[in-house]
């Protein structure tokens, strides 16, 4: 009656890694990391804070082609970082330009206020400085929108190229995995 049942599973040693990604890119990271031999560790909790999601992933320590998979994974990580930098650059240039125009408008408005509060008031100087001041406060909205659309048209093809490169790396990694 004392039967010892043997488990047919062999020992597997895992290596672990915390994978942290922005919420909007989390699925891209998770799906892609599977192509480098990683899977989500069901025993580790998922953490979320400040727009980032962190999960623990694991893979077999003795996975075949580990060095090449790690190299491909690093190249993938570099591609994704470049994509994130390109995404940030879409808004940073237009924002800086709009803020600069707004700041110049504020300087003109300050000169207008100084002109009208001077003794005696300089109404002509007030009008002369006030008009570009108002324009400097209104124009940034339109400047930002126009420059943003130009940047999007300029940068989106670069992002698509980087995504294709990342997908190609994932495809090569997937081919190296034992099936």
Nearest-angstrom CA–CA distance, 60 and 39: 10
Cis amide leading into 120 (omega within 30): yes
pLDDT band at residue 5, thresholds of 50, 70 and 90?
very low
Nearest-angstrom CA–CA distance, 85 and 93: 12
| Number of Cβ within a 10 Å radius of residue 142 | 11
Q: What does pTM read for this prediction? A: 0.77
Helix ranges restricted to H, 66-122: 66-117
Q: What is the pLDDT of residues 66-121, one digit of tens each?
A: 899 999 999 999 999 999 999 999 999 999 999 999 999 999 999 999 999 989 98
Identify the residue whose tokens are 């998770």. 30
Nearest-angstrom CA–CA distance, 39 and 37: 7
Which residues make beta-bridge pairs with 175? none
Residue 178 has pLDDT above 50, yes or no: yes
Phi, psi (degrees; rounded to nearest 5) at 3? -100, 135
């Amino acid at each position: 009656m004392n039967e010892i049942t043997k488990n047919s599973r062999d020992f597997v040693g895992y290596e672990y890694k915390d994978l942290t990604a922005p919420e909007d890119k989390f699925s891209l990271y998770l799906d892609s990391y599977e192509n480098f031999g990683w899977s989500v560790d069901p025993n580790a909790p998922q953490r979320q804070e400040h727009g980032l999601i962190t999960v623990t992933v694991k893979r077999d320590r003795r996975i075949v082609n580990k060095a090449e998979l790690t190299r491909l994974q690093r190249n993938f990580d570099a591609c994704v970082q470049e994509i994130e930098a390109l995404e940030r650059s879409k808004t940073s240039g237009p924002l800086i330009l709009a803020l600069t125009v707004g700041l110049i408008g504020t300087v003109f408005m300050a000169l207008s206020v100084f002109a009208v509060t001077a003794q005696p008031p300089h109404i002509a100087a007030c009008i002369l400085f006030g008009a570009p001041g108002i324009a400097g406060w209104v124009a940034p909205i339109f400047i930002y929108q126009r420059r943003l659309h130009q940047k999007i048209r300029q940068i989106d093809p670069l992002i698509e190229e980087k995504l294709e490169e990342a997908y190609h790396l994932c495809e090569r990694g997937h081919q190296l995995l034992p099936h």
